[in-house]
Structure 1
């Protein structure tokens, strides 16, 4: 997980990618759909890091269909 520090700027960190995920969750979406919608996320590993942080902050949840939705 990349957080901002002396080596990584805010724009290079996963914190800058959280708003993109939250803005695209007006309806529940699968992780693949989110990866396609958020162009600034570099790959599936970075997507998982962002989703982990959002889940830990209780901003997203997983529904019965396996889709991610906003809390």
Structure 2
């Protein structure tokens, strides 16, 4: 992908339409759910400070499995 950027920075405010204001949220950083990982990371697994530690749908899947057992 020609506009891929593996670093997500929601605070970036410049003229680059592909990156500014966190536009690359779905076009760059790796999503690592369902369990045990943060919502997303920067390239090469680097910490992303704009990410949630866990997502609600990830936790709900674990709870659903435990309920079904």
Shared topology, TM-score over 0.5?
no
Q: TM-score scaled to structure 2, two decimals?
A: 0.33
- Where relative contact order (Cα < 8 A, 6+ residues apart) is larger, the structure is 1
Larger of the two Rg values belongs to structure: 2
Q: TM-score scaled to structure 1, two decimals?
A: 0.33
